[in-house]
């Protein structure tokens, strides 16, 4: 009987601990880098840029075995523009007034999904205007150092932890102003 009572206590404490623990967020193991790239004195985001994560010598970082991101395994870490969806969940042009942004926090910006263990301060972003694209290669290439506060942390428990720290706040896009050549 005594063993049954001890087993019962252990079982109830285990169940209680599982019920009390916070539920997981869909973004628990993911953060985002958001880049707002515009021309000086303009607010519109510049389209058709190539934005990649680069190492300290400027080489593109390859996502080997999903080390830095849960998507695009063994490919360069490449930013993509956010896009809008209609009510049916289909991708539509960004000028559709009834559509909503797929990632509402990113609006009309470039974004990249990274793992929460991404070492932001070990990398930079490289912004290129490729010749032959819509912009015609008019803008200067820029390389900008990343920092941990550049990451969008979407789960509330992680946000609460970040809010208790001093320094720049998370969940703000990286503002980049490009100048023409």
**Per-residue pLDDT tens digits for 31-54:** 899 999 999 888 888 988 999 999
Q: Is residue 128, in this structure, part of any structural domain at all?
A: yes
Domain range holding 61?
Answer: 25-178
Least confident of 61-70, 94-103, 155-164: 155-164
For the segment 83-120, what is each residue's pLDDT rounded down to a tens digit? Answer: 999 988 888 988 888 889 988 888 899 999 999 889 99
Residues 6+ apart with CB under 8 A from 126: 51, 52, 53, 54, 58, 60, 141, 142, 143
Asked if pLDDT for residue 19 goes beyond 50, the answer is: no
* Inside any domain, residue 8: no
- Total structural domains within the chain: 1
Q: Is residue 10 part of a domain?
A: no
Inform me whether the pLDDT recorded for 5 exceeds 70: no
- pTM given for the model: 0.77
């Amino acid at each position: 009987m005594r063993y049954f009572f001890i087993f019962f206590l252990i079982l109830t404490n285990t169940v209680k601990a599982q019920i009390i623990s916070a539920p997981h967020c869909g973004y628990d193991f993911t953060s985002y880098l958001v880049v707002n790239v515009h021309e000086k004195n303009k607010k519109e985001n510049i389209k058709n840029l190539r934005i990649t994560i680069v190492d300290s010598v400027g080489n593109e970082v390859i996502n080997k075995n999903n080390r830095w991101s849960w998507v695009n395994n063994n490919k360069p870490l490449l930013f993509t523009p956010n896009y809008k969806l209609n009510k049916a969940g289909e991708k539509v042009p960004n000028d559709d007034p009834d559509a909503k942004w797929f990632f509402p926090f990113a609006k009309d910006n470039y974004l990249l999904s990274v793992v929460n263990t991404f070492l932001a301060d070990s990398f930079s972003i490289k912004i290129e205007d490729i010749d032959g694209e819509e912009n015609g290669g008019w803008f200067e290439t820029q390389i900008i150092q990343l920092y941990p506060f550049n990451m969008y942390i979407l789960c509330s428990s992680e946000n609460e932890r970040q809010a208790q720290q001093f320094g720049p706040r998370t969940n703000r896009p990286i503002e980049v102003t490009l100048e023409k050549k």
